[in-house]
Amino acid sequence: MKYRFTVMFMIVLCGMISIAAFNPIIGPLSRNLGLSEIQSGCLVSVAGLCWLLGGYFWERQTFMSRKKMLAFIMHVYLVTLIAFALLADYAGTHWQGSSGLFWVFFLLRAVSGFFFGGIPAKAQAYVMGWTTLETRTRGMALFGVANGLGFVLGPAMSGGMAAIGLTAPMYAVAVLLFLIMILLWLLIADEPEQKRTRSERVVSLSPLDGRIRLYLWIGLMLSFAMNIVQVTIGFYVQDKLGYAAQEATQLIGLGLAISGVMVVASQIVISKLKLQPHLVLRIGLSFVVLGLLGLVTFIQYAYIDFVLLGIGIGFTLLGYSAGASLAVQDHEQRTVASYIAALQGGGSFLGPVTGTALYTAHIAAPYSICALLLCITGLSLLRRREVSEVVEEELSV
């Protein structure tokens, strides 16, 4: 049983790595290809939007068996990754600065995002079919961990491979996905795709439910900020430090690798200390804000900023996912897991184009605005905690 969950975890993790690995290279790559900052943001945002649409579409499809459909979705997604990388390599020497080039890239990213959305949706369907009410919470926790780690490890891998070439990470994640597809085909049994009953179609929990609303908002703001940093940091390092494209991507890669280590380390610390979600979130948001302000004021100490961001991201990821899960009942866990998984797609849609637009307006605006939004969110968290404590005191009296 465990190996099946491991395969699904690896599918979601590698999928998240593949889509997040694109973010740090898009800045230097777009400048090499003669694209503007806004155009580079649009290439990331359209994938995020189509990711949300694709997840909704593929979750409801039953025209193939479950394994065949997941393999088909992964195959088409893999092809779009390779096609984008090949076109970028060709355009770097033959087709720079063409408006037609941007629209071809735009279409490839849209198709890529639409099929990517089916990967977590179908993997979740597998896990739901393998678990009972008693084990479902632990099974759904796989997706929160895979989403969070993938969005940190992807950019770290991307920057680490910059010395080979800006498109090298795309070829690497394509190979990784191909290997995972082989594991899927060899280790996971084929099952018929079950049609959902009328009762299953009813969403039992609204994202505006007072129990989870703030946790989901925190998750969306974190994803929003992460995407803004990942998409604009390449421009920022080049413009502030005067680095060339590969130098900037290598610095970013090492910095994001450090962040990834700190994400994992901080989550281990949290699991040992067994802290309450509200405290974990307050610590996490504070470190994220410090990291963002550090990028604005002390970019020459960028690695320290990445350490702070990594600690903050690790705490905040676990804080909002655990808080939302603990706030609801067992039969509502699936809906919460779906909302948490959708947060990354929402951030990928909203963050990149907003971040590049802010960067065009002012070089420090993306990080300053994100820090302000997270500070306001942190104050909302403190206010909610105070209200909860007052209510508990009144009830005890």
- 122-155 pLDDT, tens digit per residue, is 887 787 777 665 566 566 666 667 776 787 788 7
Most confidently modeled of 2-16, 83-97, 256-270, 373-387?
2-16
Dump the DSSP string for 278-338: HHHHHHHHHHHHHHHHHHHH-GGGHHHHHHHHHHHHHHHHHHHHHHHHHHS-GGGHHHHHH
User: Cα(214)–Cα(313) distance, rounded to whole angstroms?
Assistant: 17
Give the pair of three-digit tokens for residue 389: 């404590």
pLDDT for the residue 392:
41
Give the pair of three-digit tokens for residue 302: 């960028």
pLDDT for the residue 42:
92
Q: What pLDDT band is residue 389 in, cutting at 50, 70 and 90?
A: very low
pLDDT for 194 beyond 70:
no
**Mean predicted lDDT score pLDDT of the chain:** 84
Q: How far is CA 326 from the centre of its chain?
A: 22
pLDDT per residue as tens digits for the range 200-244: 444 568 888 989 999 999 999 999 999 999 889 888 998 998 888
pLDDT for 193 beyond 70:
no
Please, what are the domains in the chain? 2-191+208-389 (1.20.1250.20)
Phi and psi angles of residue 158, each rounded to the nearest 5 degrees, phi first: -60, -50
User: Is 0.85 topped by the overall pTM?
Assistant: no
Average pLDDT over residues 175-191: 90
What is the number of helices (H) and of strands (E) in the chain?
15, 0
User: Cα(93)–Cα(72) distance, rounded to whole angstroms?
Assistant: 33
pLDDT per residue as tens digits for the range 272-296: 887 888 899 999 999 999 999 999 9
Start-end of H helices in 2-135: 2-20, 22-33, 37-59, 66-94, 99-116, 118-130
User: Cα(5)–Cα(142) distance, rounded to whole angstroms?
Assistant: 8
**Torsional sign, CA 291, 282, 21, 255:** positive
pLDDT per residue as tens digits for the range 303-320: 999 999 999 998 998 889
Q: Are 259 and 24 in contact (CB under 8 A)?
A: no
pLDDT for the residue 73:
95
**Cα angle value 275/314/353 (rounded, 5°):** 135
pLDDT for 86 beyond 80:
yes
126 or 185, which is more confident? 185
What is the four-CA torsion angle of 369, 237, 33, 356, rounded to 10 degrees? Answer: 0
pLDDT for 196 beyond 70:
no
Q: What pLDDT band is residue 394 in, cutting at 50, 70 and 90?
A: very low
Q: Are 281 and 382 in contact (CB under 8 A)?
A: no
pLDDT for 117 beyond 50:
yes
Average pLDDT over residues 32-60: 89
User: Cα(264)–Cα(261) distance, rounded to whole angstroms?
Assistant: 5
pLDDT per residue as tens digits for the range 340-372: 777 878 888 999 999 999 999 999 999 999 999
Give the pair of three-digit tokens for residue 342: 């959708």
